[in-house]
């Protein structure tokens, strides 16, 4: 309105004394416009515009007649008047105001190409600022991503269209959408906070401090006792190896480790309350075997990114914008597997067998829930009680005699599984227990009918598990680790780890190495808000051991389904 009244006042300076009657009509029109009587104002402006010869304020009358029609809700009539004025007087001194309102009319009518064409004619900085704000408002109202795509193809240099398209695509987890987002980010140099909401502004530093809070239990080593937490030492070893590599690239992260099972520590909260911990840039915290709710609350209160390196339940952190779980959560893992089964198998039966660990029980329950939502029938769900689950597998391997007459013996029979392949559908085996895995593979071998079976890629770490048997039986291995076997990054990691520590890396060593690499590269690009930056990216497969995809999620959404073919592990769900 301020822009309208300013131009409306200026136009009176151009009126001559000889046109007093018309001037009076223009003044009355102006007053009616000011008080909101837009229909009456339009009529008065129209009477002023009737004089087309020697009329020094004709253009203003047409312009404000159009504005009056727009304000009265007659958008099409307003647009026609603006087009008429542009055609009649393309060099009018107030043409940038005309382009603004012509564009606004076109947008209101849903004619986005014509609106963009009008805005492209605006050149002055002040008018451009208003035009950009108006453009953003209307672009945000475009409901269809397909329409946005079409408009962007026609106007590939329009940053507002590019930003809106990136904001729409970033919530999709498919690789094509995330590739498009990456291209748009690089082309227009969008900041992460433009794509998704960030709690606070990011900060770029020369070096960053990280608190590594893990149950090292170092007092057991010193006392010569039984050391049960070697996996965390392995994780930290991988962490340090990657950190040393990052420093050669100018990425400086200082690691401060805290042993939450030290005799000097009464509880994790006693570490969290230390002043130096509150000043850290981020925290790496173990959440296995316990809740992370208190630590997640601490991270939120202190605006500190919280990296959870292992999988598990996300119920304590699901609404926490500061948390980032590097491995798939239990529900995510289960959901990805059953969705693959739904697409791959016509049979909608399922057998679920799981161990007594909390993680495996949570995964099994989540699997059952999602399976039933997708129309599967869980014909059997059993928790393993014995040392190897033999009682359960015996039931699945029981046979019955079926007639198999021959020329020599018309009464001959043959043994077939009592529970047929069709009745089972597929088996989901949630366990890391080597004895149970061996029993399961023996069952599948005895049956001989190749019932589709899902296990975990961590089975490959077990020396008593035969890769040849896994391949022969066609077992699907769910990528909890997600390690890209055969990649150059994995080869270099193993060589450097052996050179540094004199031993082969474990799964936990790779977790630590990969977590540090990913964090370091994200920090270089996004600074202190690296966790938000990672949630704005798509699938990350380059320069890491595993795959990562955090698109708008707390936990890693990358869950490859793997099979061995000619001794090579390959993803079958990509």
pLDDT surpassing 70 at residue 321? yes
Distance (Å, rounded) from C-alpha 353 to C-alpha 388?
12
pLDDT band at 350 (very low <50, low <70, confident <90, very high): very high
Please tell me whether residue 380 adopts helix, strand or coil conformation. strand
**Which pLDDT belongs to residue 183?**
87
Instruction: List C-alpha distances in Å: 42 to 24, 39, 46, 52, 556.
Output: 15, 5, 6, 17, 60
For residue 462, pLDDT beyond 60: yes
Q: Answer with the residue of higher pLDDT: 7 or 42.
A: 42
pLDDT tens sequence across 270-298: 788 888 888 899 999 875 544 555 787 88
* Rounded distance between C-alpha atoms, residue 433 and residue 437, angstroms: 6
As a whole number of angstroms, the distance between CA 121 and CA 464 comes to 73
Tokens at 419, concatenated: 């529970």
Number of C-beta neighbours around residue 417 at 10 A: 19
The yes-or-no verdict on residue 227 having pLDDT over 70 is no
Given a cut of 80, whether residue 523 has pLDDT beyond it is yes
Interior CA angle at 199 toward 336 and 164, to 5°? 70
Look at 175-189, 240-254, 432-446, 499-513 and tell me which has the smallest mean pLDDT.
Answer: 175-189
Note whether 131 and 116 are within 8 A (CB). no
Q: Cβ distance 102 to 117 under 8 Å?
A: no
> Looking at the predicted structure, is the pLDDT value of residue 266 above 70?
no
Pair of tokens at residue 70: 């727009």
DSSP 461: G
pLDDT band at 518 (very low <50, low <70, confident <90, very high): very high
Tell me the whole-structure pTM to 2 decimals: 0.68
* pLDDT higher than threshold 70 for residue 416: no
The answer to whether residue 17 scores a pLDDT higher than 60 is: no
CA distance 427 to 419: 13
Whether 405 and 412 have beta carbons less than 8 Å apart is answered as yes
Alpha-carbon distances of 108 from 5, 70, 76, 137, rounded to whole Å: 22, 10, 9, 11
Instruction: Give the SS3 label for residue 205.
Output: coil
CB atoms within 10 A of CB 398: 11
Phi-psi region of 110 (alpha: psi -120 to 50; beta: other; left: phi over 0): left
Cα–Cα distance, 400 to 414 (Å, whole number)? 8
Q: What is the mean pLDDT of residues 474-479?
A: 90
Q: Which of 45-59, 268-282, 503-517 has the largest mean confidence? A: 503-517
**In whole angstroms, what is the distance from residue 132 CA to residue 53 CA?**
37
Mean pLDDT to the nearest integer, 425-435: 91
Query: How many whole angstroms separate alpha carbon 543 and alpha carbon 524?
Result: 14
Question: How is 6-38 classified by DSSP, letter by letter?
Answer: HHHHHGGGG--GGGHHHHHHHHHHHHHHHTT-H
- Give residue 464's pLDDT band: very low, low, confident or very high (50, 70, 90): confident
Hey, is 403 helix, strand or coil? Answer: strand
With a cut of 90, say whether residue 54 has pLDDT above it: no
pLDDT of residue 487: 67
State the pLDDT at residue 349.
94
- pLDDT tens per residue, range 299-308: 878 888 999 8
**Tokens 């039933």 sit at which residue?**
372
* CA separation, residue 95 to residues 59, 114, 490 (Å): 10, 16, 62
CA 104 to each of CA 1, 2, 67, 131: distance values in angstroms, whole numbers, following the listed order: 14, 16, 11, 9
Instruction: Quote the pLDDT of residue 206.
Output: 95
Write the pLDDT tens digit of every residue in 324-340.
Answer: 888 888 888 999 999 99
Containing 82, the helix (H) or strand (E) segment is helix 75-88
Higher local confidence (pLDDT), 317 or 527: 527
Nearest to 380 by CA among 331, 435, 420: 420
Give the rounded distance of the alpha carbon of 361 from its chain centre.
27
Choose between 140 and 313: higher pLDDT: 140
The residue among 398 and 335 whose pLDDT is bigger is: 335
552 phi-psi bin (left φ>0, alpha ψ -120 to 50, beta other): left
């Amino acid at each position: 309105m301020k822009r309208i009244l300013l131009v409306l006042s200026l136009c009176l300076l151009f009126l001559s004394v000889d046109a007093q009657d018309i001037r009076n009509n223009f003044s009355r029109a102006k007053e009616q416009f000011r008080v909101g009587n837009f229909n009456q104002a339009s009529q008065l402006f129209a009477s002023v515009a009737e004089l087309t010869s020697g009329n020094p304020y004709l253009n203003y009358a047409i312009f404000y007649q159009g504005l009056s029609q727009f304000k009265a809700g007659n958008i099409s009539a307003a647009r026609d008047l603006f087009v008429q004025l542009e055609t009649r007087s393309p060099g009018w001194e107030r043409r940038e105001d005309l382009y603004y309102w012509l564009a606004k009319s076109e947008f209101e009518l849903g004619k986005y190409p014509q609106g963009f064409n009008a805005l492209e004619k605006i050149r002055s900085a002040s008018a451009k600022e208003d035009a950009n704000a108006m453009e953003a408002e209307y672009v945000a109202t475009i409901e269809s991503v397909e329409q946005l795509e079409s408009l962007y193809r026609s106007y590939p240099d329009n940053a507002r269209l590019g930003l809106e398209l990136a904001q729409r695509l970033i919530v999709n987890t498919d690789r094509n959408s995330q590739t498009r987002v990456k291209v748009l980010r690089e082309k227009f140099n969008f900041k992460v906070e433009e794509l998704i909401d960030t709690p606070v502004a990011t900060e770029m530093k020369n070096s960053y401090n990280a608190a590594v809070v893990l149950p090292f239990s170092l007092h057991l080593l010193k006392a010569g006792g039984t050391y049960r937490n070697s996996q965390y030492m392995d994780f930290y070893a991988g962490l340090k190896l990657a950190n040393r590599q990052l420093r050669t690239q100018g990425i400086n992260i200082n690691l401060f480790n805290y042993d939450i099972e030290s005799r000097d520590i009464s509880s994790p909260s006693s570490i969290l309350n230390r002043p130096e911990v509150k000043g850290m840039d981020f925290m790496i915290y173990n959440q296995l075997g316990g809740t992370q709710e208190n630590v997640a609350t601490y991270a939120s209160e202190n605006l500190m990114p919280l990296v959870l390196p292992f999988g598990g339940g996300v119920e304590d952190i699901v609404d926490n914008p500061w948390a980032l779980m590097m491995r798939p959560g239990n529900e995510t893992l289960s959901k990805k597997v059953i969705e693959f089964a739904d697409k791959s198998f016509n049979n909608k039966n399922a057998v679920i067998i799981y161990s007594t660990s909390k993680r495996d029980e949570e995964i099994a329950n989540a699997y059952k829930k999602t399976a039933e939502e997708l129309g599967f029938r869980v014909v059997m769900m059993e928790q393993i009680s014995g040392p190897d689950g033999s009682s359960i597998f015996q039931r699945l391997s029981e046979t019955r005699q079926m007639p198999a007459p021959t020329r020599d013996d018309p009464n001959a029979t043959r043994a077939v599984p009592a529970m047929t392949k069709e009745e089972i559908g597929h088996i989901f085996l949630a366990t890391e227990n080597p004895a149970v895995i061996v029993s399961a593979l023996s069952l599948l071998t005895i049956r001989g009918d190749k019932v589709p079976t899902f296990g975990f890629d961590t089975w490959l770490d077990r020396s008593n598990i035969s890769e040849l048997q896994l391949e022969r039986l066609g077992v699907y291995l769910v990528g909890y680790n997600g390690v890209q076997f055969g990649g150059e990054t994995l080869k270099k990691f193993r060589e450097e780890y052996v050179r540094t520590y004199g031993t082969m890396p474990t799964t936990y060593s790779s977790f630590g190495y990969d977590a540090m690499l990913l964090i370091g590269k994200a920090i270089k690009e996004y600074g202190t808000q690296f966790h938000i930056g990672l949630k704005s990216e798509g699938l990350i497969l380059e320069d890491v051991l595993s795959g990562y995809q955090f698109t708008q999620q707390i936990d890693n959404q990358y869950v490859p389904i793997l099979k061995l073919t000619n001794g090579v592990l390959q993803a079958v769900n990509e």
